[in-house]
Amino acid sequence: MTAAGAPYAGARVGEYRRGSLVFDVVDGGPLDGERVVLLHGFPERASSWEAVAALLQAEGLRTLAPDQRGYSPRARPATRWSYRFPELVADVAALVEQVGGPVHVVGHDWGAAVAWGLADRRPDLVRTLTAVSVPHPRAMLRASLHGPQLARSWYVLPFNVPGLLETLTRARPDFFDVPLRKGGMRAEDVERVHREILEDGALPGALGWYRGAFLSPPRVGRIRVPTTYVWSDRDVALSREAAEACGDFVDADYELVVLEGMNHWIPRQAPEALTAAVLARIRSVG
């Protein structure tokens, strides 16, 4: 669907529907600006993009940041089958079709995995891709089989035990605080996780992404849209080997941007550096 034919191309989007699910969207910047879709990761929501969105809007771009499946209050299906990877990708495709594509897509953490999937499955909707922290799934697999990535992904196993983390966080709401802070998250952002994820009831849906991945692992082919991958060298969960393998799966203009001394939480803690990488990728296509 082209921008001219999209129902929300010239109007603000506060929400959109896919089937019975309703997704909340933070839409800002000039309505006639080029559209940039910002996809959050775990355990965050659209608010994680506030600083980056403001910088992009100052450059004349329109930003759309959805609360994704499991996070939006009206889009929290209960079964892990509902969080299979193709469903996550199709959710974002529905948003792009409604606002008009192709768009520039930026994703962090799990949002990056979905962005890779969208660029592979619906390249007609993606003008450029900027993936942050999480590399191409095949690069992750290679690094897991031949490098340290598997050990860094240990947390996926307890995340997949039904009800375990939900029960622990009900008994001890501060259960996540220590690993989040060890990973570099600031105290004020840990508090935001409490408000937006734990207190708002989004944790089961957020964990659904990991549980659905066991049923339907992210399968992504070769990428044929201009791509930038942004990785930080103090990310405790994602290895350099995975980062350096990423470009092997992109058949288009590609750049690896390494943020030295930065941890995993790039959109909140390094918004200027990330915005510079996003703008460079957008400008590379004219």
Local mean pLDDT, 10-residue blocks, the chain (286 residues) = 57 94 98 97 97 98 98 96 96 97 96 98 98 96 82 74 82 87 94 95 95 88 98 92 95 98 97 98 95
Per-residue model confidence (pLDDT) at position 162:
81
Superfamily of domain 15-283: Alpha/Beta hydrolase fold, catalytic domain (3.40.50.1820)
Task: Give, in degrees to the nearest 5, the angle at Cα 242 between 165 and 46.
Answer: 50
- Predicted local distance difference test score (pLDDT) of residue 86: 96
- DSSP 3-state helix, strand, coil percentages of the chain (rounded to 5)? 45, 15, 35
| pLDDT given at position 161 | 76
pLDDT of residue 148: 79
| pTM (2 d.p.) | 0.94
pLDDT of residue 2: 39
Helix, strand or coil for residue 37? strand
The predicted structure's pLDDT at residue 4: 46
On the question of a cis peptide bond just before residue 218, with omega within 30 degrees of 0, the verdict is no
Q: Are 253 and 280 in contact (CB under 8 A)?
A: no
Structural contact between residues 232 and 258, judged by C-beta atoms closer than 8 angstroms: yes
